[in-house]
Structure 1
């Protein structure tokens, strides 16, 4: 028997394992479906490009065909390794806009407003710039400025200025809007995942047990209370461990709702369809799925200075010997946050990531020559999707219906058109003149709204921010899955702590907010707040 069983050693799970095991009298079991994070490319920031398609550390999800995107099935990489997606992501450290969290509270997430969550962001953060009113300087999560930048990254920032866009040297400061360099979750030139930050320093605690290759199949209950987890290890099933206090699901926006449904908690008709006994009819499980849809404008570069052509041996030597050079880069070095002409309030509604390389189909389609890419995503989509069961077999991946561009008014698509036009405006500035080759995507021929829409439907992809499938909500919200303390409705001793509890997408990358959620959840679980 353990006091706490945590399912999922990702961005949130590693945080909880650390915080809950601080008390030597408390025992914690941490289950992770993937392997240890031993792979060297996990720790080398630029190694993320080499991890694309590495199924050994990736759930390698594909969505159901999306009717608004030409019935394409989109690739959704998610970390299946200690550290979860924080071990394979592009490491951009972004919290979102302060008003995002005030909006959460208005949607029923009582106690999750900006003033309430800021202390947990600061507690987590170890920023190389030091502590300040808005930043933490000695937290476990390393946050750093770039050690190396591609020659095109400052060109992009100069072009942004020429386009009349504001400059910002801290997207997590007093103002989010503007263009600048991203800070990244790195320390001393290496990736700082949640496993590096929170799990490795405490792995030797005798009251913490970590089991990798452990796939949870269901939560067990007794008298309406979660009391254990059934799981398999490396394909061999039959393991069951008991929990004296709580079972905590930290599997993310896909795996957490899947495990709830496999355990009999979810939409009753859907569970019966798969022969699962209904424990709690909770229709919101798997619903409210939100993600940032992204367009990539790509141009050829007339000079071979991009990351398309690199000397991997030299980069490796620079990195492993000195922690310097391109190996320390997250590739998406610069970008920013802007308000489109359709922005509905004073918060930025577009996020940009500039990549000094040709990035088609997540980098899986290698294009010849050299080039550069500008990602732009709409931060506040109205469209919603759903995660559901494909079968009652825990080994089968859940069905993902992303629901991109399905909002009734077509607003999301209108903003995406503005995103493409903004990308072209930046690339048309004088700063890019010495480097500007032909436009590959959307292609010079795509000028009208209809032609840009066709490009979006053919080429838009996820930028990896799924949330919302176990959302926080009020007691009178029929679609709420957890309450403001992250307790699953209708049972005792069961919580969800990960990005799935977000009632609405934040305006930015979701990794840092997920760790914040876990930091605050630890205090909730331990009765500190």
Structure 2
């Protein structure tokens, strides 16, 4: 039975960051547990290879979860790809570096999450960031996470930015700068310069791979499935795992940190007897600590895609010509890290307001240099392009529950997409604006035929298309929400209410969804947590006391 100071479950964006930062102190020992592989393979390192991992057939570095049937999506099951290797979903995402709007974090602070205003979290973003543009008041240059300009953006992506300007959307070359609103090219989490130029910089590549073989105080266990958190007298003392067919307990002298993300962290809490008593009773799980908010408050960005076929070939295509282009691109990327293989696919984007009176954008666009359909599970011959549009702060709330009491089963995911009529109305407005941009003169030479929605002329027709094809754009949060109310799961220092020595450090702690992609904020959360966990006072409190503001069992 192994014993460490800290035991971390999940090697994704939160877990990789946390393990690296904690193990910087040679006086402590850290064990990181990951169910998947090491995240070093070519499919992870080559950015364009995401098209092989995203569909989940076969399950390459991807849990490939599904939702329950969604009434707002005509009874369809949504698809929820999540990373299953070191780096987690940062190993299979589009690499876009976005923090969200500053008021998103100020909202957290106003809701009772002391220490989480934008001005308070900014230093932790800067500490993580190694931006190619250099240091400034809003950017860091020396952090492990490489943030780069795109190696070889396509001309059509610049045409998209011009098309947005033709529709009244000003150019913005830094979505993480003083203002978020506008259209531009995304920066990406990708290595710039050196032998790894053009490779994906996942959280593992940034924080973990460079040190995991050099620090004797850091143990990284891949292929290891967490079964439950071991509790003694309302204190987390370790994690029961299955590794190589054997079940064993890895003990934690100081703290256990769950970093499984918005689906797996609440699932593991419930499997450990921490959660809503009624939900646990349905699956025959003994209640160790009643915490009704576990798995509640699920929020995600509901997304719809407008796509066009094109006769132009300077983009990603399926068929003989596209295949020949890809072969040439592979050779170029292997030589110098540039070209099509380095693309994030979503090269251009925009943050827009549905009404000029709004204080911050409420819609986000991702312009893709390919036809994206059903999460790359449906392919279209030839060449094309598409644009995603999503609602940034949905009103609807879903939940994560258990399908059964087995750790090997997928969690039961119910986002309740478009169940709230305000979300449907806003997405419809976003789709109409997206079509206006796509039909602008700057994109004329690229347009050939609109896919799916060419004959949709009325709001009712567009709504039918939305309900038939909308789904996630991969930003689930909120299921172990941070706060001080009765439905909060963790306190503002991410300690699980009522259980000593246990924290959750991932996107599940976000009380509300931020206005943008969630990878960079998750890394920031882990940077923040590492500081608290390394502080002597925090360690002593986590070891010896039950956190304050504990809901009654």
Say yes or no: TM over 0.5: yes
Aligned counterparts of 2:433 and 2:382: Cα–Cα separation in 1: 25
| 1:222 to 2:232 alignment | yes
Give 1:59 deviation, angstroms: 0.6
Which of 398, 409, 412 lines up with 1:399 in the alignment?
412
Give 1:297 deviation, angstroms: 0.3
Render the CA deviation track for 1:324-374: whole Å, top value 9, x for unaligned: 211111111111100013x77311001111011111101110012221101
Aligned counterparts of 2:451 and 2:116: Cα–Cα separation in 1: 43
Give 1:52 deviation, angstroms: 2.3
Aligned counterparts of 2:448 and 2:33: Cα–Cα separation in 1: 49
Which residue does 2:284 correspond to in 1? 275
Give 1:108 deviation, angstroms: 2.0
Which of 517, 524, 527 lines up with 1:516 in the alignment?
524
| 1:249 to 2:258 alignment | yes
| 1:348 to 2:357 alignment | no
Which residue does 1:62 correspond to in 2? 66
Render the CA deviation track for 1:423-467: whole Å, top value 9, x for unaligned: 1100111112222112113x2221111111111100001100000
Which of 460, 466, 484 lines up with 2:492 in the alignment?
484
Give 1:219 deviation, angstroms: 0.5
Which residue does 2:385 correspond to in 1? 372
Render the CA deviation track for 1:463-492: whole Å, top value 9, x for unaligned: 000000000011xx1110000010001110
Q: Greater shift after overlay, 102-111 or 126-135?
A: 102-111
Which residue does 1:497 correspond to in 2? 505
Aligned counterparts of 1:195 and 1:207: Cα–Cα separation in 2: 17
Alignment of 1:256-405 (within 5 A): 256-308=265-317, 309-310=322-323, 311-341=325-355, 345-405=358-418
Which residue does 1:118 correspond to in 2? 122
Aligned counterparts of 2:327 and 2:311: Cα–Cα separation in 1: 24
Aligned counterparts of 1:127 and 1:303: Cα–Cα separation in 2: 33
Aligned counterparts of 2:357 and 2:83: Cα–Cα separation in 1: 33
Which of 470, 476, 483 lines up with 1:466 in the alignment?
476
Q: Gaps spanning 5+ residues in structure 2: where?
A: 192-196, 539-553
Relative to structure 1, the CA distance from residue 230 to residue 142 in structure 2 (aligned partners, 3 Å threshold; closer, same or farther) is same
Give 1:53 deviation, angstroms: 2.6
- Conservation of the 8 A alpha-carbon contact between 2:26 and 2:217: yes
SS of the residue aligned with 2:382?
Answer: coil
TM-score (norm 1): 0.97
TM-score (norm 2): 0.93
Aligned counterparts of 2:423 and 2:470: Cα–Cα separation in 1: 12
Which residue does 1:196 correspond to in 2? 205
| 1:94 to 2:98 alignment | yes
Render the CA deviation track for 1:210-247: whole Å, top value 9, x for unaligned: 0001110100111221001001124x141111100000
Which of 202, 213, 217 lines up with 2:223 in the alignment?
213
Q: Gaps spanning 5+ residues in structure 1: where?
A: none
Give 1:375 deviation, angstroms: 0.4
Aligned length, in residue pairs:
522
- Conservation of the 8 A alpha-carbon contact between 2:55 and 2:376: no
- Conservation of the 8 A alpha-carbon contact between 2:131 and 2:147: yes
Aligned counterparts of 1:434 and 1:257: Cα–Cα separation in 2: 49
Which residue does 1:170 correspond to in 2? 174
Aligned counterparts of 1:150 and 1:44: Cα–Cα separation in 2: 17
Aligned counterparts of 1:357 and 1:312: Cα–Cα separation in 2: 13
Aligned counterparts of 1:433 and 1:135: Cα–Cα separation in 2: 36
SS of the residue aligned with 2:209?
Answer: helix
Aligned counterparts of 1:12 and 1:139: Cα–Cα separation in 2: 15
Aligned counterparts of 2:510 and 2:474: Cα–Cα separation in 1: 15
Q: How much is the aligned-residue C-alpha RMSD, in angstroms?
A: 1.2
Which of 132, 136, 145 lines up with 2:149 in the alignment?
145
Structure 1 stretches (4+) deviating beyond 4 angstroms? none
- Conservation of the 8 A alpha-carbon contact between 2:347 and 2:367: yes
